[in-house]
């Protein structure tokens, strides 16, 4: 089945005031849809059609050279945005609990130290990309990727991705990426992150 943009699990305006309705509409309906359309066009009629984006992204080096870059960017756009929408909730914010909280403390010293590191990774990502909380099979790490790359390509398990493309924040925050990141922490759905962590 071709990739599809999943419906949001909340209203477009549900993340206000942290992320505004117009940003959500354009980001979800236009930007995400464009990644999906381009990924489907590139994969159509190939043996890769129908594979889940996560699998495709772990096997990029096996893709034919003429579609490798377009698939990397657009299957990446599909996987990253599906994760991104599900990582947010109007009931989000606060702190993780249980074993995830313990793992964050073990890796970063404290939840506040983790937040500072993730924010730093997002602020310092030059151009477009993501900051991630990921598990590298030894523990939790903060990493950053350019464009629509995902840590899964490097053998890690992505748990939480912060989209720092300008399309994610420019209408609401203009050039103030640090303010967007601070606000975004108020909508992070730690229950979803916990489920990904428990699934490793
Ligand atoms: Mn985006």
pLDDT in tens, 5-58: 999 999 999 999 999 999 999 999 999 999 999 999 999 999 999 899 999 999
Phi, psi at residue 146, to the nearest 5°?
-85, 160
pLDDT at 159: 98
- Whats the size of the chain, residue-wise? 200
CA of 194 to the centre of ligand 1 (A): 22
Q: Is the pTM of this model over 0.75?
A: yes
- Predicted pLDDT at 197: 97
Phi, psi of 77 (to 5 degrees): -60, -35
Contact 44, 121 (CB under 8 A): no
Distance 27 CA to ligand 1 centre (A): 6
Alpha carbon of 114 to ligand 1 centroid (Å): 22
Centre of ligand 1 from the C-alpha of residue 23, in Å: 10
State residue 116's pLDDT score: 98
pLDDT at 97: 95
Environment of ion ligand 1 (residues, CB < 5 A)? 163, 165, 168
pLDDT of residue 7: 98
Helices marked H in the chain — which ranges? Answer: 21-25, 33-43, 53-58, 65-86, 98-108, 111-124, 170-173, 177-184, 190-198
Q: How many whole angstroms from 167 Cα to the centroid of ligand 1? A: 6
Give the Å distance between the CA of 36 and the centre of ligand 1: 12
* Segments of the chain scoring below 70 in pLDDT: none
pLDDT recorded at residue 1:
80
């Amino acid at each position: 089945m071709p990739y599809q943009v999943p419906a949001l699990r909340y209203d477009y305006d549900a993340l206000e005031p942290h992320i505004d309705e117009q940003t959500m509409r354009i980001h979800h309906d236009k930007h995400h849809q464009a990644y999906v359309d381009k990924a489907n066009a590139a994969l159509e009629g190939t043996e890769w059609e129908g594979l889940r984006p996560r699998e495709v992204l772990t096997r990029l080096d096996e893709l034919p050279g003429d579609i490798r870059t377009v698939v990397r960017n657009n299957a990446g756009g599909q996987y990253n945005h599906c994760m991104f929408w599900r990582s947010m909730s109007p009931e989000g914010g606060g702190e993780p609990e249980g074993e995830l909280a313990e793992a964050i403390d073990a890796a970063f010293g404290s939840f506040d130290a983790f937040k500072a590191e993730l924010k730093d990774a997002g602020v310092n990502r030059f151009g477009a990309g993501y900051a991630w909380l990921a598990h590298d099979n030894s523990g939790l790490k903060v990493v950053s990727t350019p464009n629509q790359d995902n840590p899964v390509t490097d053998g890690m398990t992505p748990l939480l991705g912060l989209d720092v493309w300008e399309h994610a924040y420019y209408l609401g925050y203009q050039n103030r990426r640090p303010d967007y990141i601070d606000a975004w922490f108020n909508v992070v759905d730690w229950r979803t992150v916990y489920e990904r962590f428990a699934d490793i």
